[in-house]
């Protein structure tokens, strides 16, 4: 299959050339269209990326904020990454796990070590994990990952259990995707890193990952294998961010047109320093903070129904700022080294440095103080509202009515089970104020869930 049908670089480049300078009246027309919540086309997105004047930027950010609040309301989904192994056979120049990095301490967690990690995450109150690994599995057998996922789901204690495991794993063939589907994963995430073919070749020097097309065609193997919930992303800092944003839109449109459902999430990692990597601390195409904010806001306007994920690569300030621009999911209390939750302090086996080192409890309290409801909800996945079913709900504006009660209930469960006293005070106050602002129907639904929690039930959702 030609991957040209997925990303047509010439088309993207010519849209960028056609929209080389800021045109205020055009930008305002595009913003008016974005506020109809139907997304934007390539040309329109290219024009938005030219914005430089502070006045217009303010308008873009305000529009992105409106789209976000209209579709997602004020909830923010929280998760933690779980690194199970840093063995890797690829040579990605920006990553500490790359095969030639002799300074990295290699570690593959055993199933019992995975369970200890999960125990520690569950004790903190996490309910959603993103399982991450390098691209070499012990005995060259993907079964390791399937066993790891099973091990995660087996952990349960008085603080709860992990209810959804998403994964960020190297591209698989169809047979392994079917096995992954049977392991009950939530979202299958894979970042193209850069959609620009020459840059891709420059930074992916050897190993399976050097094959651009094998990576770009990944969802054409995942989705037909039954994985209808997928996440895309680009690693910002490798090539011109304007090109990558347009390519993400093209990729999303491709999936939407071919499978009737676009990506569930878009991730926007930005290069962070990594052990022994020159590129990681000297990006080929650095992205300034203001451009990074633009990336988030423009994606929110262009692809309104897709979640945007912000990781702890970014600083506290950037994470706060981008919440208002369209981010709907954040990681918290993260470690990027296998075993990092059990052996705090060891970091010479990490993938990259973190910008936000706070604990889950601190992040939750902060998010709540900003007026967002931290959500640990996993209802859609467990009720089979994935893929097209989820998008259908989102597009009819119904996701907010369902998400708000579920977010409130899972947040209340977190407050009851694990939160510090300071977080409990902020959290309960927030829940009360949110209930007062709700429509009768949504408030009723929320209060019923809260009453079920108060009567001792756990894991309640609609």
Q: List contacts with ligand SAM (CB under 6 A).
A: 94-95, 132, 134-135, 168-170, 190-191, 193, 235, 269, 271-272, 274, 280, 313, 351-352
Question: Under a CB-based contact definition with an 8 Å cutoff, are residues 29 and 44 in contact?
Answer: no
Whole-angstrom Cα Rg for the chain: 21
Q: Of 190 and 255, which has the nearer Cβ to ligand SF4?
A: 190
Residues 6+ away with beta carbon under 8 Å from 71: 37, 304, 305, 394, 397, 399, 400
Q: Which of 77, 84, 88, 108 binds ligand SF4 (CB under 6 A)?
A: 88
Phi-psi region at 37: left, alpha or beta (left = phi > 0; alpha = psi -120 to 50): left
Instruction: Choose the contact partner of 98 out of ligand SAM, ligand SF4, none; CB within 5 to 8 A by kind.
Output: ligand SF4
- Angle separating helix axes 387-395 and 399-417, nearest 10 degrees: 110
Least Å from the CB of residue 452 to ligand SAM:
38
Phi, psi dihedrals of residue 247, rounded to the nearest 5°: -65, -40
**How far apart are alpha carbons 210 and 417 in whole angstroms?**
46
136-154 as b/e, with b when 16 or more CB fall inside 10 Å? bbeeeebebbbbbbebbbe
Residue 460 near which of ligand SF4, ligand SAM, none (CB within 5-8 Å, type-dependent):
none
Q: d(Cα 84, Cα 117) in Å, to the nearest integer?
A: 9
Stretch that binds ligand SF4, among 75-83, 86-94, 287-295, 310-318 (CB under 6 A): 86-94
Binder among 75, 196, 209, 270 for ligand SF4 (CB under 6 A): 209
* Shortest distance in whole angstroms from residue 222 CB to ligand SF4: 17
Residues 6+ apart with CB under 8 A from 156: 122
Please state the closest distance from residue 65 (CB atom) to ligand SF4, in A.
32
Size of the site for ligand SF4 (CB under 6 A): 9
Degrees (nearest 5) of the Cα angle 201, 180, 395?
85
Which part of the chain contacts ligand SF4 (CB under 6 A), choosing from 87-95, 121-129, 159-167, 304-312? Answer: 87-95
The nearest distance, CB 287 to ligand SAM, in angstroms, is 12
Query: Smallest gap, in angstroms, from Cβ of residue 108 to ligand SF4?
Result: 13
Binding to ligand SF4 (CB under 6 A) within 132-171 occurs at 134-135
- Which residues contact ligand SF4 by CB under 6 A? 88, 90, 92, 95, 97-98, 134-135, 209
């Amino acid at each position: 299959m030609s991957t040209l049908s997925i990303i047509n670089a010439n088309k993207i480049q010519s849209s960028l050339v056609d929209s080389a300078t800021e045109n205020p009246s055009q930008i305002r027309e595009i913003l008016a269209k974005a506020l109809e919540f139907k997304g934007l086309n390539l040309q329109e997105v290219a024009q938005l990326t030219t914005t430089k004047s502070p006045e217009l930027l303010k308008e873009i950010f305000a529009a992105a904020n409106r789209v976000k609040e209209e579709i997602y309301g004020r909830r923010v989904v929280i998760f933690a990454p779980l690194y199970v192994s840093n063995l890797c056979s690829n040579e990605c120049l920006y990553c500490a796990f790359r095969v030639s990095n002799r300074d990295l301490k290699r570690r593959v967690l055993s199933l019992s070590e995975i369970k200890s990690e999960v125990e520690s995450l569950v004790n903190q109150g996490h309910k959603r994990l993103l399982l991450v690994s390098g691209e070499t599995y012990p005995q060259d057998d993907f079964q390791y990952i399937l066993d790891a996922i099973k091990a995660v789901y087996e952990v349960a204690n008085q603080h709860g259990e992990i209810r959804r495991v998403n994964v960020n794993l190297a591209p698989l063939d169809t047979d392994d995707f079917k096995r992954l589907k049977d392991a009950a994963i939530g979202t299958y995430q894979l970042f193209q890193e850069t959609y620009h073919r020459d840059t891709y070749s420059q930074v992916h020097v050897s190993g399976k990952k050097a094959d651009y097309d094998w990576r770009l065609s990944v969802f054409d193997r995942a989705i037909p294998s039954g994985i209808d919930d997928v996440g895309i992303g680009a690693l910002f800092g490798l090539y011109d961010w304007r090109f990558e944003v347009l390519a993400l839109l093209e990729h999303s449109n491709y999936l939407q047109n071919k499978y009737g459902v676009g990506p569930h999430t878009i991730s926007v990692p930005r290069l962070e320093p990594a052990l022994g990597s020159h590129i990681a601390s000297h990006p080929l195409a650095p992205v300034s903070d203001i451009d990074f904010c633009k990336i988030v806001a423009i994606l929110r306007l262009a692809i309104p129904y897709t979640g945007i994920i912000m990781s702890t690569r970014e600083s506290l300030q950037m994470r706060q700022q981008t919440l208002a621009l369209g981010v709907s999911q954040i990681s918290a209390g993260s470690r990027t080294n296998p075993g990092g939750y059990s052996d705090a302090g060891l970091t010479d086996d990490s993938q990259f440095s973190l910008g936000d080192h706070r604990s889950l409890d601190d992040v939750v309290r902060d998010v709540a103080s900003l007026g967002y409801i931290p959500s640990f909800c996993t209802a859609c996945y467990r009720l089979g509202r994935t893929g097209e079913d989820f998008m259908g709900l989102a597009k009819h504006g119904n996701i907010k009515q369902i998400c708000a009660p579920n977010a409130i209930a899972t947040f209340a469960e977190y407050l009851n089970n694990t939160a510090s006293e300071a977080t409990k005070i902020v959290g309960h106050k927030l829940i009360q104020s949110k209930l007062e602002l709700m429509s009768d129907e949504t408030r009723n639904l929320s209060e019923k869930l809260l009453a079920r929690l108060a009567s001792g039930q756990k894991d309640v959702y609609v």
